[in-house]
């Protein structure tokens, strides 16, 4: 679709596709696991919804109030794990890190908040299977996407 478009430096056609037309964005009403990752400093969050059957991620959606990097990574990651088993999905976190390559400190937190929300959704699913009445599972981020200029310069080296 974007093969003939002059790409911004460092952006692939796949990235532009996910930016312009995010996949799996929104709420999944019948989710088996719902996880939230929260950056308390900026109040940015990702909500991850997973529908699981026999350890297979049958459907998945995410929502965020985050930046475009968070949306792109969420879209790419959900496409990668949909219709795969939970073990593959957990390993897909590293595959996404490899695919994304060198990220700025802020982009790294954008990626991590998506992955953390996914992990929280699995924990919510597990808790429900164990009989816990839990609407969602919340994990707070250790790092903030509000990166200081000094941290950004250090990461660029």
Is position 43 within any domain? yes
- Hunting for tokens 């297979």 — which residue is that? 56
Query: What's 136's domain CATH number?
Result: 3.90.1010.10
Range of the domain at 21: 13-156
Per-residue pLDDT reduced to its tens digit, 86-119 = 999 999 999 988 888 788 888 889 899 999 999 9
Backbone angles phi, psi at 54, to 5 degrees: 55, 45
Q: Is residue 111 part of a domain?
A: yes
Does a structural domain hold residue 5? no
Q: Is residue 8 part of a domain?
A: no
Of residues 149 and 73, the one with the higher pLDDT is: 73
Position 36 in a domain:
yes
Give percent of the chain above pLDDT 90. Answer: 64
**What would the pLDDT profile of 9-42 be if each residue is shown by its tens digit?**
555 778 778 788 999 999 999 999 999 999 999 9
- Residue pair 20/123 in contact (Cβ under 8 Å)? The answer is no
Question: Would residue 6 count as lying in a domain?
Answer: no
Beta pairing partners, 20: none
Q: How many domains does the chain have?
A: 1
């Amino acid at each position: 679709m974007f093969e003939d478009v002059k790409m911004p430096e460092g952006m692939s056609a796949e990235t532009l596709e996910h930016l312009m037309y995010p996949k799996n964005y929104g709420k999944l009403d019948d989710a088996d696991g719902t996880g939230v990752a929260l950056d308390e400093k900026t109040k940015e969050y990702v909500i991850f919804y997973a529908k699981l059957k026999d350890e297979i991620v049958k459907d998945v959606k995410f929502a965020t109030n985050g930046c475009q990097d968070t949306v792109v990574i969420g879209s790419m990651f959900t496409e990668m794990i949909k219709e795969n088993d939970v073990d593959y999905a957990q390993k897909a976190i590293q595959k996404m890190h490899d695919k994304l390559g060198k990220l700025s400190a802020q982009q790294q937190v954008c990626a991590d908040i998506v992955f953390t929300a996914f992990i929280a959704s699995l924990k919510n699913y597990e808790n429900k299977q164990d009989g816990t009445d839990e609407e969602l599972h919340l994990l707070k981020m250790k790092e903030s996407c509000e990166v200081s200029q000094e941290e950004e310069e250090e990461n660029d080296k």
